[in-house]
Amino acid sequence: MTVHNIRVGESKRGDASDGTLAESVGGRLSRVDGPAKITGAARYAVEQQLEGLAHAVLVESTIASGKVRAIDAATAEASPGVLRVLTPDTIISLRTASDWFGTPPPDKPYCPLARDITFCGQHVAAVVAETFEQAVAAAALVKVSYDETPSIVDLDDGKAGDGIPIDAMTKEWGDAPAAFAAAPVRICAAYNTPREYQAPMEPHGLIARWEGEHLTVWEPSQWLDGMARTYAEWFAVPFGNVRLVSPYIGGGFGSKALALSHGAVAARAAKMLGRPVKLVMTRPQTFTGYGGRAATRQTVTIGTDREGVIQSIVHRGVNETSVDGMWVEPLGSVTSIMYATPNFSSKQNVVRVNSVVPGAMRAPGENPSAFGIESAIDELAYEIGIDPLEIRLKNYAEQDPHTRKAWSTRQLREAFAAGAERFGWARRSPKPRSMRDGNQLIGWGVAAGTYPVRRAYGEAVVRILADGSVEVESSSIDMGQGTYTILAQTAAETVGVRADDVVVKLGDSRFARAGVAGGSRLAGVMTGAVSKAATSALDQLVGLAISDPRSPFHALQANTLVVANGRIGSPRGDGPDVSIAELLKSVGRDRIEATGDTMPANSTAEDRYKNYTTIAMALPHTEGDYSRYSWCAHFIEVRVDEDFGTVRVSRVVSALDSGRLYNPKLAESQWKGGIIMGIGQALLEEGIMDRRHGRIVNNNLADYLVPTNADIPDIEVISVGIPDPHSSALGGKGVGELGIVGVAPAIANAVFHATGKRVRDLPITLEKLI
């Protein structure tokens, strides 16, 4: 089997603009996995070539609600190459697994193929054949009959009702309704976002292989250890018997963090057949195989005095969830902290509809929450007659309004200043429809965003090898955010070697443990773990050099030594100067190995297992004396064709506070990726349902519109962050989720400035403007 090692190449070295070496933490080292990807050398999970590989294809329900009456698989079973047709009656049931919090599961069997249909596109059968083409042809011959019942298609369905209150989402202080009623200036508006889908370039899929009671799964995964736990529980085998391998990931955006029913089907098929099975979803299947962002509805009311100082915010939200699952999109998350107010009330319901359970999509909660509050604060500025930037500064929250704790760092005021200056905000004409270029109406909009600093514990192994190179090993993953690169930089800086002498091994659950790559927490967690492991390895190296009688430094009587550029010397330069390789050879060692584990010292084995396989031990971002968040401010220009109503984003300047940047080049790329997704959310993306049958109409990349190069202008991003020691070991805060938060309202606000029309329902399409 191929082992995926990433070594930094000579061509990737250079200097940062501030003088920091590119190979040090804070340097602008290019992604070390880049050459493998652009040359085709990178082998993704489902590209493994295994002997005896069979292929599985799913059959999905064509109704949204009801029961499977019968499945006629006779013709399919008789088709060429077919090995097995799996149905709810023929697949061997599994055990129910605990959820991602580790909640003990109910004592009942789990069948990944459904008899009771709760959404259109649910897996009801699977065909396994010798070739993919044979499986596809046979799957088309499977006949399923149903007893159909009425469905609830979406939040607008008359049968949906008001939903279920989620008490945990309630946040209140003061008397917000009374303060709103008494406020001299009041605004109240509803803001809606549709279903959105992650649509990663790489579809979901896997290869499963059993060897006795040991299961290996090659699957794109944002959380190897968490998914391995689920597979182990499904099949009632020890956790150590399951190995997840995910060397590269072609996009996830939250959709690849959990083991899902298609994985259970493939692994069970492999067990039943005694040979490896490959199952890759079609593009339409990815729209129902995992839930995207839930549709949301929010009502935001704000009351202020006549100068625009906020007196009250009342927020009511609702999101859709599935009939047989629960997903809460925390819609008050930004509303409750962005602005200072003495009176606040936020409540939320969920409504059950016939869809797959929604799930995490880049900045879940914060993204739609910001659309509501940042659109409303813009409306308030126009109502009062002051600049939209001024009203944000006037109501700046000097501490967390909810917890009453100090911010760990909050460079939002600096973000507003830097973004406004670079964008030229002072030249903005305040009146809507007052800026134009020929038949193009020009609008400028601003909005703020935030994302909490999610923290946890990590583990890494660092080895100093006989040839002087350094090896880093962790079950954490790289889905394009740069884990390979920043861990190489961390180890290189700490040990004192060049970055191109560091080999990083990721994406294998047999390596040192790591938690989920989600919530923008992996970089902060894993740089801390690698730094600790590398420090320990360096201490061992220096200790050997000083104490071992065979060492050339033994007679020096030094208390410490200097390790730099792969060489060891005396701090005063009055002794030997040898390479790491020469030292290890002299003392008869072929390696030094250290584990960096950031778990508390008194942690039990069960604590460690929970930390890496569930999110139950994640540290609250408001733990202790501080409230920890990343922050951003987006300044966006749009051009709206006055005749046709088409909207183009023509300029973006965003200033962001993510603390210390481990690699500014990679951070800037992540910010820009989030901003691009925000442009898609604002202008293009919308899951469209056939209301007769509850089917997704645009379940493909031709009809589900995402931004292309033609839709995106030059994007300028500015870092205003300072190191935040309260958020991570090396001072960084979350990067990946932050950039998308606030983009959609900034665009909506710019569209209003351009046209005088306030669009409160995303996406902003031409029929809403004409």
Within a 13 Å sphere around the CA of 653, how many CA atoms are in the beta-carbon half? 17
Exposure of 62 by Cβ count < 10 A (0-12 exposed, 13-18 middle, 19+ buried)? middle
Question: Which neighbouring-strand residues pair with 67?
Answer: 116, 147
Long-range contacts of 38-42 (CB under 8 A, 24+ apart): 42/247, 42/248
DSSP strands (E only) in 326-480: 344-353, 406-407, 436-437, 440-452, 459-465, 470-473
User: Which two tokens mark 118?
Assistant: 């709760």
User: Which two tokens mark 287?
Assistant: 């729209």
Contact 530/595 with Cβ under 8 angstroms?
Answer: no
Instruction: Give the angle subtended at the CA of 333 by the CAs of 182 and 324, to the nearest 5°.
Output: 115
Instruction: Give the DSSP H or E segment for 486.
Output: helix 483-495
379: annotated active-site residue: no
Exposure of 263 by Cβ count < 10 A (0-12 exposed, 13-18 middle, 19+ buried)? buried
What are the angstrom distances between the C-alpha of 762 and each of 81, 295, 356, 687? 47, 10, 21, 11
What are the angstrom distances between the C-alpha of 381 and each of 174, 219, 307, 312, 388? 24, 49, 10, 15, 5
Contact 599/457 with Cβ under 8 angstroms?
Answer: yes
> Cα separation of 755 and 442, whole Å?
8
Instruction: Report the SS3 class of residue 54.
Output: strand
Contact 175/303 with Cβ under 8 angstroms?
Answer: no
Which listed residue (329, 374, 686, 737) is catalytic? 737
Can you say whether the dihedral through the CA atoms of 656, 658, 664, 667 is positive or negative? Answer: negative
Instruction: Give the angle subtended at the CA of 754 by the CAs of 753 and 760, to the nearest 5°.
Output: 65
> Cα separation of 122 and 60, whole Å?
5
> Cα separation of 655 and 671, whole Å?
10
Q: Provide the edge-to-edge strand list for the sheet that holds 577-579.
A: 562-564, 567-569, 577-579
> Cα separation of 174 and 344, whole Å?
6
Instruction: Report the SS3 class of residue 529.
Output: helix
What are the angstrom distances between the C-alpha of 607 and each of 189, 392, 599? 46, 43, 9
Question: Which neighbouring-strand residues pair with 385?
Answer: none
Instruction: Report the SS3 class of residue 153.
Output: coil
CA 274 from centroid of its chain's CA atoms? 35
Tell me the Ramachandran region of residue 583: left when phi exceeds 0, alpha when psi lies from -120 to 50, beta otherwise.
alpha
Contact 539/496 with Cβ under 8 angstroms?
Answer: no
Can you say whether the dihedral through the CA atoms of 157, 370, 620, 510 is positive or negative? Answer: positive
- R_g of the chain computed on alpha carbons: 28
| Number of other CB atoms surrounding residue 587 within 10 Å | 16
Q: Which residues are catalytic?
A: 737
